Amino acid sequence: GAVVSQHPSWVICKSGTSVKIECRSLDFQATTMFWYRQFPKQSLMLMATSNEGSKATYEQGVEKDKFLINHASLTLSTLTVTSAHPEDSSFYICTTSGRSRHEQYFGPGTRLTVT
Amino acid sequence: AQTVTQSQPEMSVQEAETVTLSCTYDTSENNYYLFWYKQPPSRQMILVIRQEAYKQQNATENRFSVNFQKAAKSFSLKISDSQLGDTAMYFCAFSLMEYGNKLVFGAGTILRVKS
């Protein structure tokens, strides 16, 4: 199956700083990637859809100026949390459909802690 | 808009016994996929089973099977011969059949397998 990686797996940053999370598809070209956020013991909530070469589509209630998404190549999408605050602490997961529409492939997730 | 409902926040089962996790969904579409995902403590999402809505036959994967009732919009997961390694959070999810479509998740059910 397709492999999706995320970097870093865990990051701690200070309040007010920005942090970038990378999502890479390792063995296929991903024209579309999805970014989800998951709070402890809760479900995955879609934040945005990342399309290669175009602007991301954000879900209602997600601040596009705070969560900057860039999908500059077919194998890399990045999520930058700008001016992070403690309430942004969460688990961020990227997914992509890969070659098959039948299944989505999940990255291992990035745990963000804002102090 | 599609919604997915899991009404059991937590379930417990004895090792080697059978347990059923419930899921209902709402959609006006006719062509879609339904999934059950497992999220162990590592938080890496693992696909357990997938069902195409146009298939009447219930999907099975070894000890895992589903009861798909399209008219009732119900999609339950049965785990037979439960093992300690089955302890995890289980998410029911929905996606439309078009390529690159997002997943909509239920709230999740924490399953604990007891020895």
Is the confidence at residue B61, as pLDDT, over 80?
yes
Average pLDDT over chain A, rounded to whole?
Answer: 92
pLDDT at B113 over 70: yes
B-chain residue closest to A43, CA distance: B107
> In this structure, which amino acid lies at residue A18?
S
* Interface residue of B35, B36, B43, B54 to substitute, partner A, most A CBs within 10 Å: B43
What count of residues does chain B have?
115
For residue B111, give how far its alpha carbon lies from the nearest alpha carbon of chain A (Å).
12
* Mean per-residue pLDDT of chain B: 95
pLDDT tier at B100, thresholds 50, 70, 90: low
Most confident of A70-74, A102-106, B69-73: B69-73
Q: Token digits for A87? A: 């309430």
When CB atoms are compared, the residue of A31, A104, A108 closest to B103 is: A104
pLDDT of residue B86: 98
Cα dihedral sign for B35, A22, A77, A28? negative
DSSP-assigned states of every residue in A4-63: EEEE-SEEEE-TT--EEEEEEESSS--SEEEEEEE-TTS-EEEEEEEETTS--EEPTT--
- Whether the pLDDT of residue A102 is over 90: the answer is no
**How much is the pLDDT for A53?**
84
B42 CB neighbours in chain A (<8 A) are 108
Instruction: Pick A43's closest partner by Cβ from B47, B91, B102.
Output: B91
Question: Secondary structure of chain B: what % helix, strand, coil (to 5)?
Answer: 5, 50, 45
User: pLDDT per residue over A90-101, tens digit each?
Assistant: 999 999 876 666
Using 50, 70 and 90 to split pLDDT, how confident is the model at B6?
very high
B102 part of contact set with chain A, CB < 8 Å: yes
pLDDT at site B99: 62
Name the band, by pLDDT with cuts 50, 70 and 90, for residue A1: low
* pLDDT confidence of residue B104: 94
Predicted confidence (pLDDT) per residue in A39-67, tens digit:
998 999 999 999 888 889 999 999 999 99
Contact B115, B84 (CB under 8 A): yes
Q: Hey, are the CB atoms on B100 and A109 less than 8 Å from each other?
A: no
B106/A43 CB distance under 8 A: yes
B50 touches chain A (CB under 8 A): yes
Q: Which pLDDT belongs to residue B5?
A: 98
